[in-house]
Structure 1
Amino acid sequence: MTLERPIAPDPYELLPTVPSFTLTSDDVRNGEPMDARHAHGSAGGENVSPQLSWSGFPDETRGFVVTCFDPDAPTGSGFWHWVLVNLPKSVTELPSGVKESDLDGAFSIRNDYSDTGYGGAAPPPGDRPHRYVFAVHALDVDRLDVGPDASPAFVGFNLAFHTLARAVIRPTYQIAG
């Protein structure tokens, strides 16, 4: 059963425009379906974060935040799958299934599954393909002043004031009904 509702806007189209840079992945492609290994366990997946790498960000970049958001979730606010904050400027790639303990002080805040770390795709069975907006935000500060109990919205609010540039890749995922 497909849920009949309008397509949600891309979240970054609603924010002030910032320059972009390059985001690539060995695991996901813009506009193409993700492999089931990147889906949440509740959807039969392995809950493995995809490999991501980025380049061409502004020279004045001091740190990064990586996020994954599903604007197509049947909620009034989308669904946050991953918010990884305070990556140092020296980190320009995340391996598939990255472990936070390998990231020099970076940490994930709680996603909308109420877990920390990456939470894979799990759209309602039979719903249209959902977009998973992976974004790397280049920051004008070394670290955002947020703690592990911050909400994704609070991190987003802080990003609005510290994002120099943003790189985005938007794979999709769908579960047959």
Structure 2
Amino acid sequence: MKKVITLLFLVTFGFVNAQEAFKGKGDIKVNVGANLQDGGSGIQGSVDFGLGENFSFGFVANYILGFDNFNGFYHGSADVYHDAEPDFSDRFDAKARINANLSSVIGVKELDVYPGLSLGLHNFGGHVGGRYFFTEGFGVFTEIGFPIAKYGSNNDPFYHLNNQATFSLGASFNL
């Protein structure tokens, strides 16, 4: 019962003291969290810089820590893989991105919903995310990313690691 009361208190406190999620020009947001996808999971870090009332640009990087090893033949290749692991270039991705920050449009200043586009090492893609700030400096975020156009050829078993839909969640900080 104490845990339920504590949780209700924290949730109520967070909603009562919520702060503005996106202030516009000059605003800087940093997100750090978990990145979840098919075949692997890892960490994601991003930074967004406000350029106007509803527009920001930034950078995002992902690194896959846990992954599924590959055994067998890949796409009819004559090469057989035995317990193969992805190399650094398969595990790491970095992207530049732009966002449309919609908190003032939807009328909820504590919630920043931001669809956007990204151009990265592995693909051109899109994302939809949201941030909610409990205090002036701390909040939570969640984001879904997806490729629109993939680079390279599908000739190794780890090509899909940075060329698929991803789900991220974690902490957001206001600088």
TM-score, normalised on structure 2? 0.27
- Greater relative CO (CA pairs within 8 A, separation 6+): 1
Rg larger in structure: 2
TM-score, normalised on structure 1? 0.27
